[in-house]
Amino acid sequence: MTETPPTPPTPPSTPDTPETPAATAPPAPVTETPTETATATAVAGPETAPAALEAPASTEVHVRPLADPQEPKNGWWWGTGRRKAAVARVRIQPGKGDFKIAINRKKTKTVEEYFSEVRDRGDCYAPLDVTNTRGKLDVIVNVDGGGFMGQAGAILLGLSRALKGYDPTLEQALRDHGYLTRDPRQVERKKYGQRGARRRLQFSKR
């Protein structure tokens, strides 16, 4: 029995072509979180803020809807005005343009006969002049309480409210001039221990 000699190990084969390195994956894109974006915007200031974050300016104009015209009571449109301690009940209707002020609900006077101050006369005619209805409507006013200035202010508010009920399209012109706003100012009451609302008694050291 003959033994076979061991075969010598074969040397490792060297390839003719060099080995290529393993392909590397491209870096992943860096994404900023909303918190990082907001922080960067706050640090950089409003000048560098993106246009998407800026709120668009509102260009809408609020228009007051027209109210329904009021139904006349016995052919008259009524309006009540108050100023200080005066109360004026005004009624209007289409006519020749007469403007009368009832005294004790019996005798009537015109505005020129009742008011001596130009300021008070102007307050009575102001709503009619603004709405271009002077000379087209008859106005009758019952006014009580207060002084002449307070009564003129009450007539102005009552006439404006009557005009708004007569023709709602006149409301915007009256509101622009402030004739539909109640003036809440009052005379401050006198305080006890004083000579007036703010006037103190004279101080005497001795």
The CATH code of domain 77-176 reads 3.30.230.10
Residue type, 121: R
Q: Which helix (H) or strand (E) holds 93?
A: strand 86-94
Q: Contact 165/171 with Cβ under 8 angstroms? A: no
Specify the 3-state DSSP secondary structure of 138: strand
Q: What tokens appear for 11 in the block?
A: 């040397």
Task: List, for residues 136-153, the tens digit of each pLDDT value.
Answer: 999 999 999 999 999 999
pLDDT tens track of the chain, all 206 residues?
455 656 655 655 555 555 554 555 555 555 555 555 555 454 455 554 555 456 556 666 667 788 887 888 899 999 999 999 999 999 999 999 999 999 877 789 999 999 999 999 999 999 999 999 999 999 999 999 999 999 999 999 999 999 999 999 999 999 999 999 999 999 999 999 999 999 999 999 98
65-74 per-residue burial string, b: 16 or more CB within 10 A, e: under 16: eeeeebeeee
Q: Residue 142: name the closest of 111, 109, 103 by CA.
A: 103
User: Distances from the Cα of 76 to the Cαs of 31, 90, 162, 205, in angstroms?
Assistant: 74, 10, 9, 65
Provide the β-strand partners of residue 140: 91, 100
